[in-house]
């Protein structure tokens, strides 16, 4: 039992007493006495509190927030805004593209026929109201949509025209872009407006016609925009192509061995670096300043998605077909920095939190998992696993801009919103509530190795098929491990070298 000893100065009241002997002023904050002699049962008490905190975390865990159901076909990509915490993008297999308001849980803008084929990827540009989409119809379309509700909320878009930052274009008095020497700019054509809207003003941005269309030579699999320069973006098809919005053809074309590139991503910190995934199971890092590939790593199985750490510029993670997520340091690609397990089928997509401390993954096993990179094993095991009965294979995941929510796009046609921390309420919290939550998290971290606490923290309720596949996967791993040990024990010393788990999936590294 804790005993708190207060001195006279700690309990005396501030302010003058009234005639009844009470004080109208608030008392001073009581100070805690840290003398260990006064708290002989401190560890036992805090261990019990940690056990209760672990139990209450499971009791109050309600991660599901909403299902955004507007797509007719399956959505295959979902992306957050780089500026606003309230907006997100999605694209579907029928060519539809939608802009979502995460506050109202409703679509802010949707175009059901944005592309004539499978819409593969979408991304916001450095301009808050503009985004890019690409599809199998070999087109990249640039859209300009008004994301504000009222005109008095046009802080940046009215006071300062971000479109004027695009090189090679001047702004007319009416807000349109003047033509350049090579022809009219990509924002200058006269465009149609939706039915019932007058032309001019701010409503001209909510149009159903793209600002500009770029034609590629091959079907496109992904697109990503530069994090600062709104005039640059990159696409992947049979090679990595760097585009400028002022030109109709790519300004650079990069490739290294692969006959197809299915994913490419800009580094958000070192913004001249690109990472791409090829059909030959390769991971290639490019530097656009050198106009040539820099390093290449070939894995034993194909990778489906790549994401850069937004805080540590040299770290990136890939979602692999072997059910794992691998984190690499691009300065040393000979071994993985971390392996994130727990999925039982191919991992299709992943994303870093804006703080760079967590990873969210979506898999073919119909689950969404969260990995904390701050734990002692660098997030080897997932801390949360989200699923619903109706959710099918997950093809796209993304964190919200405030790292409080997770978005997932699954094959059943819905985009689901989840809490990043299942038991923490989303409402505004008082300081005492925030302190209580932080105290409980510290207790769980301190006593996470106590068997009674560990059993509750590690236990996750999952569908029965996933449990069966986990047990089967464990049996296969144990069998392979015993086989290697037996081979090493009955062979000449040194004939079968020991290969760490972080190097088993690497085939070769090229520079």
Q: Which helix (H) or strand (E) holds 442?
A: helix 431-446
> Nearest 5°: CA angle at 207, between 204 and 211?
90
Residue with tokens 């006279």: 8
Within-domain flag for 134: yes
> What are residue 242's DSSP bridge partners?
234, 252
Q: Contacts by 233-241 with C-beta closer than 8 Å and gap 24+?
A: 233/123, 233/125, 233/132, 233/140, 234/264, 234/266, 234/274, 235/134, 235/140, 235/264, 236/261, 236/262, 236/263, 236/264, 236/276, 237/261, 240/264, 240/274, 240/276, 240/284, 240/286, 241/216
pLDDT at 8 (0 to 100): 42
Within-domain flag for 130: yes
pLDDT at 222 (0 to 100): 96
> What are residue 67's DSSP bridge partners?
416
In angstroms, the CA 95 to CA 210 distance is: 14
Within-domain flag for 163: no
CB 405 within 8 A of CB 419: yes
Q: Contacts by 288-296 with C-beta closer than 8 Å and gap 24+?
A: 288/242, 288/252, 288/254, 291/252, 291/254, 292/254, 293/254, 293/255, 293/256, 294/511, 295/330, 295/333, 295/509, 295/510, 295/511, 296/256, 296/257, 296/509, 296/510, 296/511
Q: Could you tell me the two tokens for 379?
A: 């997030």
CB 244 within 8 A of CB 251: yes
Identify the CATH number of the domain in which residue 307 sits: 2.130.10.10
> What are residue 371's DSSP bridge partners?
359
Within-domain flag for 57: no
Within-domain flag for 27: no
Within-domain flag for 36: no
Residue among 107, 302, 143, 339 at smallest CA distance from 221: 302
SS3 82: coil
SS3 470: helix
Phi-psi region of 173 (alpha: psi -120 to 50; beta: other; left: phi over 0): alpha
Q: How many domains does the chain have?
A: 1
pLDDT at 22 (0 to 100): 45
Within-domain flag for 511: no
Domain enclosing residue 229, as ranges: 64-154+209-425
Residue among 225, 255, 226, 252 at smallest CA distance from 238: 255
CB 387 within 8 A of CB 369: no
Residues in the chain, pLDDT under 50: 6-25, 150-204
User: Which residues have a Cβ under 8 Å from the Cβ of 349 and sit 6 or more positions away?
Assistant: 304, 305, 319, 361, 362, 394, 395, 396, 397
User: Which residues have a Cβ under 8 Å from the Cβ of 188 and sit 6 or more positions away?
Assistant: 176, 177, 178, 179
DSSP per-residue letters across 158-208: HHS-GGGGSTT--B-TTSPBPPBTTBS-TT-S-----TT--SSTTGGGS-S
Q: Could you tell me the two tokens for 323?
A: 């059910």
pLDDT at 308 (0 to 100): 97
Tens digit of each residue's pLDDT (9 = 90 or more) over 65-117: 999 999 999 999 999 999 888 999 999 999 999 999 999 999 999 999 999 99
pLDDT at 29 (0 to 100): 57
Within-domain flag for 284: yes
In angstroms, the CA 490 to CA 245 distance is: 64
> What are residue 122's DSSP bridge partners?
133
pLDDT at 41 (0 to 100): 84
């Amino acid at each position: 039992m804790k005993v708190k000893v207060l001195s006279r100065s700690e309990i005396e009241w501030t302010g003058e007493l009234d005639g009844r002997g009470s004080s109208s002023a608030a008392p001073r904050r009581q100070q805690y006495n840290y003398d260990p002699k006064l708290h002989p049962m401190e560890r036992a008490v805090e261990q019990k509190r940690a056990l209760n905190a672990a139990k209450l975390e499971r009791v109050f865990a309600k991660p599901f927030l909403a299902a955004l159901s507007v797509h007719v076909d399956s959505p295959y990509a979902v992306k957050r805004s780089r500026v606003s915490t309230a907006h997100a993008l999605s694209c579907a297999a029928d060519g539809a593209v939608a802009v979502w308001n995460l506050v109202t849980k409703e679509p802010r803008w949707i175009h059901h026929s944005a592309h004539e084929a499978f819409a593969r990827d979408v991304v916001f540009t450095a301009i808050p109201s503009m985004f890019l989409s690409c599809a199998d119809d070999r087109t990249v379309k640039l859209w300009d949509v008004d994301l504000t509700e009222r005109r008095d909320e046009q802080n940046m878009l009215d006071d300062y025209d971000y479109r004027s930052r695009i090189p090679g274009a001047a702004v007319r008095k009416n807000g349109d872009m003047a033509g350049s020497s090579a022809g009219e700019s990509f924002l200058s054509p006269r465009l149609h407006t939706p039915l019932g809207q007058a032309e001019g003003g701010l409503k001209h941005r909510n149009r159903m016609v793209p600002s500009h269309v770029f034609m590629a030579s091959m079907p496109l699999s992904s697109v990503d925009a530069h994090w600062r320069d709104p005039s640059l973006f990159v696409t992947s098809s049979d090679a990595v192509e760097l585009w400028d919005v002022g030109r109709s053809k790519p300004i650079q074309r990069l490739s290294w061995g692969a006959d197809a590139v299915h994913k490419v991503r800009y580094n958000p910190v070192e913004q001249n670096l690109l990472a791409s995934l090829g059909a030959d199971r390769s991971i290639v890092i490019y530097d656009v300043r050198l106009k040539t590939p820099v390093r290449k790593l070939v894995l034993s199985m194909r990778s489906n998605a790549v994401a850069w750490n937004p805080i540590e510029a040299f770290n990136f993670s890939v979602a692999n077909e072997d059910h794992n997520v691998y984190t690499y340091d691009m300065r040393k690609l000979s071994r993985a920095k971390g392996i994130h397990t727990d999925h039982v089928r191919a991992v299709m997509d992943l994303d870093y939190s804006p703080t760079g401390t967590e990873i969210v993954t979506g898999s073919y096993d119909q689950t969404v998992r969260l990995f904390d990179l701050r734990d002692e094993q660098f997030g080897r095991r997932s801390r949360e696993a989200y699923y619903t009965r109706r959710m099918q294979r997950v093809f796209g995941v993304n964190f919200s801009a405030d790292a409080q929510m997770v978005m997932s796009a699954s094959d059943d046609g819905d985009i689901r919103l989840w809490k990043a921390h299942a038991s923490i309420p989303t409402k505004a919290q008082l300081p005492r509530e925030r302190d209580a939550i932080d105290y409980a998290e510290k207790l769980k971290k301190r006593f996470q190795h106590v068997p009674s606490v560990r059993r509750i923290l590690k236990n996750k309720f999952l569908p029965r098929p996933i449990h069966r596949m986990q047990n089967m996967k464990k049996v296969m791993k144990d069998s392979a491990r015993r086989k290697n040990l037996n081979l090493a024990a009955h062979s000449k010393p040194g004939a079968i070298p020991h290969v760490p788990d972080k190097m088993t999936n690497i085939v070769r590294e090229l520079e």
